[in-house]
Structure 1
Amino acid sequence: MRVLYRAISAEERGTRGTRKPTPKYQRPLPATPKARKVQAEALNEDLALALAARVEEEITFDWLKSHSPVEIPDNNRACGELLLNELYPTGSRILVFTAFASQGQYMYVVGDGAYKLGRKPGVAPVKAPRLPAGGDSGVWYLTAPITGKWEPNPGKRDAMGNLMPGRRHAACCTSFPYLVLESDVLTADVWLKILVQLADPIVAVYTSGGKSVHALVKVSAATPEEFNAIKAEYVLRLSSVGADAAAITPVRLSRLPGCMRHGASGENGTYFKYDKPRLQELLYLNPAAVPGVPILTMPARKTRKAGQ
Structure 2
Amino acid sequence: MDDSHNLLDLLKHIDPAQLDYATWLSVGMALKEAGYTAADWDEWSRRDIGRYHAGECFRKWDSFRGASTPVTAGTIVALAKDHGWRPERDIGYELGWDSTIGGKDDLVVIQKGWLEGREVAEPDSWDHVGQLVKYLEILFEASENVGYVTESWEKDGKYLPTKGNWDRTAGELIQQFNKCKDDIGAVLGDYKLEAGAWIRFNPLDGKGCKNENVTEFRYALVESDDMNIDQQNAIIRELELPVACLVHSGGKSLHAITRIDAANYDEYRKRVDYLYTVLKKNGMNVDTQNKNPSRLSRMPGVMRNGHKQFLIDTNIGKESWKDWQEWIEGINDDLPEPESLTSVWDDLPELAPPLIDSVLRQGHKMLMAGPSKAGKSFALIELCCAIAEGRRWFNWPCTQGKVMYVNLELDRASCLHRFRDVYTALGWQPKNLNNIDIWNLRGKSVPMDKLAPKLIRRAAKKNYIAIIIDPIYKVITGDENSADQMAHFCNQFDRVCTDLGAAVIYCHHHSKGSQGNKRSMDRASGSGVFARDPDALLDLIELELNENILKQEENKAIAHVCKEWLNKHVKDWEDHVSQDHLCSEKDMLEACRKLLETETHYAMQKDVEAARKAIKQRTAWRIDGTLREFPKFPPVNLWFNYPIHYVDDVGSLQDIEAEGEAPPWQKATEKRKYRAKKDRRNKAQEFDDAVKSCNMGEPPTINNLIEWFSSTGKTVAERTIRDWIKTFGYEIDRNNGNTIVKKDAGGT
Call closer, same or farther: CA 1:226–1:141 in 2, change over 3 Å.
same
Matched, 1:228 2:269: yes
- SS of the residue 2:312 aligns to: strand
- Asked if residue 142 in structure 1 is aligned to residue 200 in structure 2, the reply is yes
Give the secondary-structure state (helix, strand or coil) at the position aligned to 2:256. Answer: strand
RCO higher in 1 or 2 (8 Å CA, sep ≥ 6)? Answer: 1
> CA offsets per residue over residues 129-187 of structure 1, 9 Å max, x none?
423564342211112211112xxxxxxxxxxxxxxxxx111222211210111111111
- Please report how far the alpha carbon of residue 228 of structure 1 lies from its aligned counterpart in structure 2 after TM superposition: 0.3
Matched with 2:253 is: 212
**Which aligned pairs between 1:248-267 and structure 2 lie closer than 5 A?**
248-262=291-305
Q: What is residue 283 of structure 1 aligned with on the other side?
A: 312
C-alpha change, 1:253 and 1:179, in structure 2 (3 Å) is same
Alignment counterpart, residue 163 of structure 2, candidates 82, 89, 103:
103
Question: Which residue pairs with 2:214 in the alignment?
Answer: 173
- Structure 2 match to 1:94: 146
User: What residue ranges of structure 1 are gaps of 5+ in the alignment?
Assistant: 1-30, 43-47, 66-72, 117-127, 150-166, 263-276, 295-308
Residue type of the partner of 1:138? G
Identify the residue that residue 198 of structure 1 maps to in structure 2: 239
Shift of 1:209: 1.1
Give the C-alpha shift of residue 204 in structure 1: 1.2
| C-alpha distance 52-284 of structure 1, shift in aligned 2 (>3 A) | farther
Residue 236 of structure 1: CA displacement?
Answer: 2.0
Q: Over residues 65-94 of structure 1, what are the superposed CA-to-partner deviations in whole Å (9 max), with x where a residue is unaligned?
A: 9xxxxxxx9312321122012221111111
- 1:1-308 matched pairs, under 5 angstroms: 36-41=93-98, 51=111, 53-56=113-116, 59-61=118-120, 74-98=126-150, 99=152, 100-105=160-165, 107-113=167-173, 129-132=186-189, 134-135=191-192, 136-149=194-207, 167-240=208-281, 241=283, 242-262=285-305, 277-286=306-315, 290-291=319-320, 292=323
Instruction: Check conservation: 1:35, 1:232, Cα contact below 8 A.
Output: no
- Give the Cα–Cα distance (whole angstroms) in 1 for the partners of residues 235 and 91 of structure 2: 29
Structure richer in strand, relative to its length: 1
Distance 1:193 1:142, change over 3 A: same
Q: SS state of the match for residue 240, structure 2?
A: coil
Q: Distance in 1 between matches of 2:91 and 2:118?
A: 37
Distance 1:111 1:288 in 2: 27
Q: Aligned letter for 1:253? A: L
Superposed CA offset, 1:5-57 (max 9, x none): xxxxxxxxxxxxxxxxxxxxxxxxxx9x9962322249xxxxx9x7455455x
TM-score, structure 2 as length reference? 0.25
Partners of 2:233 and 2:316 lie apart in 1 by 19
Is residue 240–residue 318 contact of structure 2 (8 Å, CA) maintained in 1? no
Q: d(CA) in 1 for partners of 2:167 and 2:111?
A: 39
SS at match of 1:280: strand
Q: TM-score, normalised by structure 1?
A: 0.57
Cα gap change, 1:94 to 1:101, in 2 (>3 Å): same
Paired with 1:38 and 1:261, the residues of 2 have a C-alpha distance of 35
Indicate the structure with greater helix content. Answer: 2
Q: Is the 8 A contact 1:59 1:193 kept in 2?
A: yes
SS of aligned partner of 1:238: helix
Distance 2:226 2:168 in 1: 32
Separation in structure 2 between the aligned mates of residue 199 and residue 75 of structure 1, nearest angstrom: 27
Question: 2:93, 2:317 → 1: CA distance?
Answer: 29
> How far did 1:224 drift?
1.8
SS of the equivalent of 2:238 reads coil
The separation in 2 between residues aligned to 1:199 and 1:79, in whole angstroms, is 23
Change over 3 Å in CA distance of 1:41–1:174 after alignment to 2: same
Residue 215 of structure 1 aligns with an amino acid whose one-letter code is: A
Asked if the contact 2:136/2:174 (under 8 Å) is kept, the reply is no
Instruction: Give the whole-Å Cα distance in 2 for the aligned partners of 1:115 and 1:253.
Output: 23
CA distance in 2, matches of 1:108, 1:261: 24
Q: Does the aligned pair in 2 maintain the 1:144–1:173 contact within 8 Å?
A: yes
Would the alpha carbon gap of residues 287 and 185 (structure 1) be closer, same or farther in structure 2, given more than 3 Å must change?
A: closer
Kept in 1, the 8 Å contact 2:246–2:254? The answer is yes
Which piece of structure 1 moves more, 205-214 or 219-228?
219-228
Q: For 1:59, what is the secondary structure of its paired residue? A: coil
Alpha-carbon distance in structure 1 between the residues aligned to 2:302 and 2:175: 17
CA 1:212–1:87 in structure 2 vs 1: closer, same or farther (change >3 Å)?
Answer: same
Bigger Rg, structure 1 or 2: 2
